[in-house]
Structure 1
Amino acid sequence: MKLIIFDIDGTIIDSVNTDDDCFIETFYNLHQIDLTNVDWTNFKNITDIGLTIEIFQKYYNRLPSTKEIELIKNHFFELLNNRKEEFTEIKDSLSFINYISKIPDFQIGFATGGWKETAELKCNYVGLDLDEFIFKSSNYHFNRAKIIERVIDEALTKNNINQFETIFYFGDGIWDLKATEELDIEFIGVDFKKNNKLKKAGVKRIIENYETQSKIMNWII
């Protein structure tokens, strides 16, 4: 059996720009912290909770409280909800997920650096029900590799096996690539914006969208 795990933002949904805008606006509205020119790659853990922790450490020299995290998450959710019409699926991503989810030899999971609530908002809007799959988010851990690891662990338990034949992770960020290298699992890059960042990082298997289904299947079968 093979495990196929998908990131969400920039991998199956075109949501990165809106997500960045709303995240930046959230911290400005609630804490008057200007992240307009921030380079996310300068952070250690590029997940919603990971970024929140590091921002608090940088600007306040302390960790955020549970209440502060909830306020940030809720405000972020409302901003995204007001712009949800901007979320669209990356071409044929949903049909591809639907197709492979029906193959008995495949287990499907989702691991996102976003919060559970905002990931569900985006996926519900484009027509993907995460309740049908194994799904983990930064609600579970601040580290992306640990989030992916939790999907793997649950998938092993669900299928009552000790290991998968192969594990593939679809992602769009350099941080996704680094997480798969840490876990020693296979990586397939998604570059629908054609910025070539993954190619420059040495990734060999890259798609712009899921239209080339036969090529993807040749990689994962």
Structure 2
Amino acid sequence: MNVIFDIDGTLVHSSNFDGACFTAAVRDVHGDVSIRSNWDSYTHVTDQGLIEQIAIENRLVDARVDDVKTRYVARVDAHLAHAPEDCIAVSGAQAMLQTLQPHHRLALATGGWRDVQKIKLAKAGIAADLPMFSSDGIAPRVAIMAACYAAIGDPETDTLYVGDGEWDMRACSELGWHFIGIGIRLKGKCEKWVEDFTCPSFFRYLEMIDNH
């Protein structure tokens, strides 16, 4: 089976600081532009999607994506140098990946930019040599996930995505993938849900999907 994971909120807890770092990075480059407080109100809740829409809504001639990305990476790196406790692995994540890797085709498909996500994974101690597909140059989450499948997916088997956001559920519905929700934001909102990867039900769901 193809098993694809989101990163933020799925493998790594980091949401208590990265939004502020992203906002600050945008304003480092573009000044006091208007940025919505609710990320879910943007069309594409990905780093690329956010900066593109912020540029349009603020009538910026150039989104200066590379400059914003550079500042974002620097701010995340600086923050975690002083507060490493703000980026930790979701409970059971490392052991779960080690258990699954010999038996399934695994990959990462994230709405974040690659360089930022690599920092978070390293700081959280997630050591898995997996293909990563990010939002560098790609705004829609569905397109990132589809690119991941095109590169690593085995069409002879089912595909499962594990994520923590309602946007992940919507993308999976559009792609016809199985979905397991993780974390507090999806509690009570999806059929298959776990608090973290220490929950035995995660592996039961996996077996159920694999054998359906």
- Normalising by structure 1, we get a TM-score of 0.86
Query: Deviation at 1:63?
Result: 5.2
- Aligned in 2, Cα 1:140/1:60: closer, same or farther, shift over 3 Å? closer
Q: Which residue of 1 aligns with 2:167?
A: 175
Mark the runs of 5 or more structure 1 residues left unpaired by the alignment: none
Contact 2:5 2:108 in 1 (8 A): yes
- CA deviation digits over 1:78-111, x for unaligned, max 9? 11001221210011111111111122xx100000
Contact 2:34 2:54 in 1 (8 A): no
| Pairing of 1:23-102 with structure 2 (within 5 A) | 23-31=22-30, 32-35=32-35, 38-60=37-59, 62=61, 64=63, 68-84=64-80, 85=84, 86-102=86-102
| Pairing of 1:149-160 with structure 2 (within 5 A) | 149-156=146-153
Q: For the residues of structure 1 that align with 2:16 and 2:34, how far apart are their CA atoms?
A: 17
Q: Equivalent residue of 2:16, what SS?
A: helix
Matched, 1:220 2:172: no
Q: For the residues of structure 1 that align with 2:142 and 2:187, how far apart are their CA atoms?
A: 18
Percent same amino acid at aligned positions? 22
- Aligned in 2, Cα 1:175/1:78: closer, same or farther, shift over 3 Å? same
Q: Which residue of 1 aligns with 2:114?
A: 116
Matched length: 202
Contact 2:5 2:162 in 1 (8 A): yes
Q: Equivalent residue of 1:5, what SS?
A: strand
Contact 1:136 1:148 in 2 (8 A): yes
Q: For the residues of structure 2 that align with 1:139 and 1:164, how far apart are their CA atoms?
A: 29
Q: For the residues of structure 1 that align with 2:67 and 2:60, how far apart are their CA atoms?
A: 19
Q: For the residues of structure 2 that align with 1:189 and 1:63, how far apart are their CA atoms?
A: 36
Query: Deviation at 1:199?
Result: 2.3
AA matched with 2:198: E
Q: Equivalent residue of 1:60, what SS?
A: coil
Q: 1:138 aligns with which of 126, 135, 154?
A: 135
Query: Deviation at 1:165?
Result: 1.9
AA matched with 1:207: V
- Normalising by structure 2, we get a TM-score of 0.89
Mark the runs of 5 or more structure 2 residues left unpaired by the alignment: 208-212
Contact 1:92 1:210 in 2 (8 A): yes
| Pairing of 1:177-196 with structure 2 (within 5 A) | 177-191=169-183, 194-195=184-185
- CA deviation digits over 1:1-52, x for unaligned, max 9? x0000000011100112111101111233221253x6111111111101110
Q: Equivalent residue of 2:96, what SS?
A: helix
- CA deviation digits over 1:124-180, x for unaligned, max 9? 1222345x2121000151111111111111113xxxx5x142111011111111111
Q: For the residues of structure 2 that align with 1:93 and 1:70, how far apart are their CA atoms?
A: 31
AA matched with 1:184: G
